């Protein structure tokens, strides 16, 4: 595994977001489309669309209204045939195989957009 120095790590903007809506795009067999509240600017920057490859393990109702950590300063990535872009990445623990990824959940509710250090 390649090591990174602290300056590289500090480039990541990780914030707690609240999932307002989770849906499965008609074309998808793997990703779920999430509408994530990342707080008011400057804390987080409003709502973002973030796709997560968790449809095989979770249903939209498992996620809506819950909080999770997201990397929010990644370059947007085109997802699917309809021109949608993912504007971040949901963090989770994944041990591989067919085991569902473990969703990382804050121990208590915090304001959307709270920075993770």
The answer, yes or no, to whether residue 42 has pLDDT greater than 90, is no
Q: CA separation (Å) from 93 to 39, 81, 104? A: 24, 28, 7
The per-residue pLDDT for 44 is: 56
Rounded to whole angstroms, the Cα distance separating 93 from 80 reads 24
Average pLDDT (76-101) is 92
What is the distance between the terminal CA atoms of the chain, rounded to a whole angstrom? 22
User: What percent of the chain stands above pLDDT 70?
Assistant: 97
Which of 53, 103, 46 has its CA nearest to residue 79? 53
Considering only 88-92, 94-98, 105-109, which range has the smallest mean pLDDT? 94-98
**The whole model's pTM is what?**
0.91
Q: Which residue has better confidence, 81 or 67?
A: 67
Write down the domain spans for the chain. Answer: 6-103
The answer, yes or no, to whether residue 68 has pLDDT greater than 70, is yes
Average pLDDT (75-82) is 92
Average pLDDT (12-30) is 95
Which of 67, 86, 64 has its CA nearest to residue 76? 86
The fold for domain 6-103 equals: OB fold (Dihydrolipoamide Acetyltransferase, E2P) (2.40.50)
The per-residue pLDDT for 54 is: 93
- Please provide the average confidence, as pLDDT, over all residues in the chain: 93
Neighbouring-strand partners of residue 85: 78
Rounded to whole angstroms, the Cα distance separating 90 from 68 reads 7
The answer, yes or no, to whether residue 97 has pLDDT greater than 80, is no
């Amino acid at each position: 595994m390649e090591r990174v120095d602290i300056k590289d790590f500090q480039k990541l903007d990780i914030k707690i977001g609240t999932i307002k809506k989770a849906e499965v795009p008609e074309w998808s067999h793997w990703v779920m489309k999430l509408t994530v509240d990342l707080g008011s600017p400057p804390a987080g920057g409003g709502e973002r669309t973030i796709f997560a490859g968790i449809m095989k393990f979770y249903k939209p109702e498992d996620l809506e209204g819950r909080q999770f950590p997201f990397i929010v300063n990644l370059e947007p990535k085109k997802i699917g045939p309809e021109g949608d872009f993912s504007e971040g990445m949901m963090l989770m623990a994944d041990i591989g195989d067919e085991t569902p990824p473990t969703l990382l959940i804050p121990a208590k509710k915090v304001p959307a957009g709270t920075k993770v250090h």
